[in-house]
Amino acid sequence: MSCLFRYLSIKRFLSSWLIPVVIIGLLTFLVSRGAENINYQWQWYRVGEFLIQFDKGEWFAGPLLKGLLITLKISLLSLLLTLVLSLSTAILRLSSSIVGRGLARGYLELIRNTPLLIQLYLMYFVFGPILGWDKMTTAIISLSLFQAAYTSEIFRAGLRAFNRGQIEAGLSLGLSRTDNYRYIILPQVFRQMLPPLTNEAVSLIKNSSIVSVIAIFDLTTQGRNIIAKTFLTFEVWLMVAAIYLIITLTLSLIASMVERRKVFMK
Amino acid sequence: MSNRKKSRYRPTKLDGALVLGLGILSLIWWYRSSIGIAYQWNWDEAITTVFTSKKGIDTPFFITGIYATLRLSIWAALFATFLGFVLGVGRYCAIRSIRMFCGTYIQILRNIPPLVFIFIFYFFISSQVLPFLRLDELISRSEESGLGWVLFGPSRLWENLISGVLCISFISAAYIAEVVRAGLTSIPRGQWEAGESLGIPLADKYRFIIFPQALARIAPPLTGQYISLVKDSSIVSLISVQELTFVGSEIANSSGLLFEVWLLVAFVYFCLCFLLSISLRQVERRVTRHFHRGV
């Protein structure tokens, strides 16, 4: 807790938050002037109902909140799949097997040299129907295939920077290769890589907005739908951006705190 | 982990397992695609649809899409590099609010999804800035000329091109700025102080002392940024900028050859990015040459 208070101290608040707030205020002023010029009617009071609704004595999640839950669900599931995929890719790349290395290389080149949008379209229009996936599965698989190609590089760096003595110690104690990975290498590698992995989670959340093109009701799609219904273009887009910003910045903040304090590294 | 031998390669158990796995996967694939949904592959028709031009237009639609993506990427890369360097150096400015402004811009752009930014851009900036530039007058006054076509494409799509270029470069500039900032941070403090103590003016200090050293460190991640810029250019198709992805979806929807056209589009992107990464690797090697030379 004490680290949290130090992070949020008054001086830091003034120096790192006040001025951006002033700048954002200025930008808001400019935007509102621009909107005045095109006779835009601001209706901020209507935004609340998209987040949360009150009806017959009960609270209901509004469309934006529902969308946010879907976004988080997709990101979380993709993150799990990404971890598995990227770890296996990294291990294959470092393995002695030629087929394994070739496979990993081919996969990386293929994914890194095509846009995510095209991969998603390919999955949705070509692979999905052939293999019988529904929209959600398609989205999760293509997001994690994309992200794993980048995350595997973090794992590879982590594995390569790993102290050889540890591996040799494990082997000399008579652990099998699998047990060596499971009990000696991976626990240490994971701990080292927690901060960079948080960045991967942030980029997954950001990339997950692209699944709105295949009509999954995530935060972005919900925003688009509300705009189509109510024409509150400015308010809703700013709101959606703010929600994404809050989530990704919180994650980044946690990552930087972990990195600075090494909370998990005792 | 691997004890590679120079002698003849002997397959391991992992090799066998992987080959077996691949075999099973391709069997499933073959089974599902030929029996499961019975898709009629029609590559001949796809190729002819893609590479024949409509009446009255001399280049096929698909090819104009490739040109448009190239054009978009090149202009966006130039503008993003400029903006990124300004923002990155701005993080080192002596005036605090400029530093803060650049930092805020970078943080916000890197933390909202590109798609959301594109929509915001489309509704806010595109509809306000572009009329302000009085582009339509310029377009009506200009004539179609060969060079203009190569550089900017057909003049009726100029507005389209500009909003695409601005959009991608605003996003990419935030990432480039971060790369530039990291490069500047890697220069030892002594270098900055040496410049100051010699009384070298600010611009000269950057030009003769800081940048020559920083560029070698900036180059490798910068090339990576250029490749992701080309890839990111595909999402502006969602605000109807007419580039490869947009053209691809038009052709796929109108001809009904979904599988073939999307595979072709993916292949073209792959070729573009792969060639770009190979050639940029050469540049990178040239720039960072002195790191590898034994001292």
pLDDT in tens, B227-286: 989 988 898 888 888 888 998 888 888 887 888 888 889 999 999 999 998 998 888 888
Domain boundaries, chain A: 2-40, 58-265
> Mind telling me how many Å the CA of A1 is from chain B's nearest CA?
25
pLDDT grade for A78, boundaries at 50, 70 and 90: very high
> Which residues of chain A have a CB within 8 Å of the CB of B236?
none
Burial readout A107-121 (b: 16 or more C-beta within 10 A, e: otherwise): bbeebbbbbbbbbbb
What is the maximum span of chain A, computed from C-alpha positions, in angstroms? Answer: 77
Whether A260 has a pLDDT exceeding 80, the answer reads no
Best-predicted range by mean pLDDT among A12-21, B124-133, B263-272? Answer: B263-272
Name the residue in chain A with its Cα closest to that of B245: A118
Helix axes B244-255, B61-90, angle to 10 degrees: 150
pLDDT grade for B37, boundaries at 50, 70 and 90: low
pLDDT grade for B82, boundaries at 50, 70 and 90: very high
What is the number of domains present in chain B? 2
Give the C-alpha separation, A252 to A244, whole Å.
12
3-state DSSP call for residue A53? strand
Does B27 map to a domain? yes
B37 in the same domain as B143 = no
In this structure, the number of other CB atoms found within 10 A of the CB of residue B75 comes to: 19
Question: Which residue's structure tokens are 């929509």?
Answer: B119
Would you state the pLDDT for residue A11?
57
Give the C-alpha separation, B157 to B170, whole Å.
20
> Mind telling me how many Å the CA of B171 is from chain A's nearest CA?
13
Nearest beta carbon to residue B258 from set A125, A205, A210: A125
3-state DSSP call for residue B275? helix
Name the residue in chain A with its Cα closest to that of B232: A115
Nearest to B179 by CA among B215, B148, B143: B215
Give the C-alpha separation, B67 to B11, whole Å.
45
Question: Which residue's structure tokens are 């705190």?
Answer: A257
> Mind telling me how many Å the CA of A262 is from chain B's nearest CA?
22
Whether A136 has a pLDDT exceeding 70, the answer reads yes
B64 in the same domain as B37 = no
Give the C-alpha separation, B19 to B24, whole Å.
9
Whether B140 has a pLDDT exceeding 70, the answer reads no
- The gap between the terminal CA atoms of chain A, to the nearest Å, is 16
Mean pLDDT value of segment B73-92: 91
3-state DSSP call for residue A175? coil
Q: Which of residues 181 through 240 in chain B touch A, CB cutoff 8 A? A: 227, 231-235, 237-238
Give the C-alpha separation, A120 to A214, whole Å.
8
Q: How many CA atoms lie within 13 A of B137 on its CB side?
A: 5
Would you state the pLDDT for residue A257?
78
Does B237 map to a domain? yes
Q: Which of A122-126, A171-175, B54-58 has the lowest mean pLDDT?
A: B54-58
B135 in the same domain as B255 = yes
Would the CB atoms of A38 and B115 count as touching at under 8 Å?
Answer: no
Name the strand (E) or helix (H) holding B49.
helix B43-51
pTM for the structure as a whole: 0.81
Of residues B148 and A152, the one with the higher pLDDT is: A152
Q: How distant is the alpha carbon of residue A12 from its chain centre?
A: 27
B226 in the same domain as B109 = yes
Would you state the pLDDT for residue B270?
92
Mean pLDDT value of segment B25-49: 75
Would you state the pLDDT for residue B5?
47
> Mind telling me how many Å the CA of B174 is from chain A's nearest CA?
15
Whether A91 has a pLDDT exceeding 90, the answer reads no
Would the CB atoms of B266 and A122 count as touching at under 8 Å?
Answer: yes
Mean pLDDT value of segment A48-60: 74
B272 in the same domain as B214 = yes
Question: Which residue's structure tokens are 């999760």?
Answer: A140
> Which residues of chain A have a CB within 8 Å of the CB of B33?
130
B34 in the same domain as B163 = no
Give the C-alpha separation, B154 to B160, whole Å.
10
Average pLDDT taken over every residue of chain B = 81
Over residues B181-225, the pLDDT tens digits come to 888 888 888 888 888 889 888 888 888 888 888 888 888 888 889
Copy the structure tokens of residue B166: 């601005």
B68 in the same domain as B35 = no
Cβ-contact A253, A247 below 8 angstroms: no
pLDDT grade for B1, boundaries at 50, 70 and 90: very low
Over residues A183-224, the pLDDT tens digits come to 888 888 777 777 788 888 888 999 899 988 888 888 888 888
Q: How many CA atoms lie within 13 A of B159 on its CB side?
A: 20
* Structural domain boundaries enclosing B111: 60-292
Copy the structure tokens of residue B22: 């691949």
Burial of residue B258 (number of CB atoms within 10 Å: 0-12, 13-18, 19+)? buried
Would you state the pLDDT for residue B164?
86
Cβ-contact B230, B276 below 8 angstroms: yes
Task: Give the CATH number of the domain where residue B167 resides.
Answer: 1.10.3720.10
Would the CB atoms of A115 and B245 count as touching at under 8 Å?
Answer: yes
In this structure, the number of other CB atoms found within 10 A of the CB of residue A19 comes to: 17
Would you state the pLDDT for residue A1?
47
B255 in the same domain as B159 = yes
B262 in the same domain as B226 = yes
Nearest beta carbon to residue A95 from set B14, B101, B127: B14
Q: Which of A48-62, A80-94, B96-110 has the lowest mean pLDDT?
A: A48-62
Does B26 map to a domain? yes
Would the CB atoms of A112 and B227 count as touching at under 8 Å?
Answer: yes
List C-alpha distances in Å: B290 to B220, B257, B294, B295. 14, 51, 8, 9
pLDDT grade for A17, boundaries at 50, 70 and 90: low
B102 in the same domain as B172 = yes
Average pLDDT taken over every residue of chain A = 81
B29 in the same domain as B138 = no
pLDDT grade for A266, boundaries at 50, 70 and 90: very low
B122 in the same domain as B23 = no
Mean pLDDT value of segment A45-60: 74
List C-alpha distances in Å: B141 to B133, B161, B212. 14, 18, 43
> Mind telling me how many Å the CA of B177 is from chain A's nearest CA?
17
Whether A149 has a pLDDT exceeding 60, the answer reads yes
CATH code of the domain occupying A58-265: 1.10.3720.10
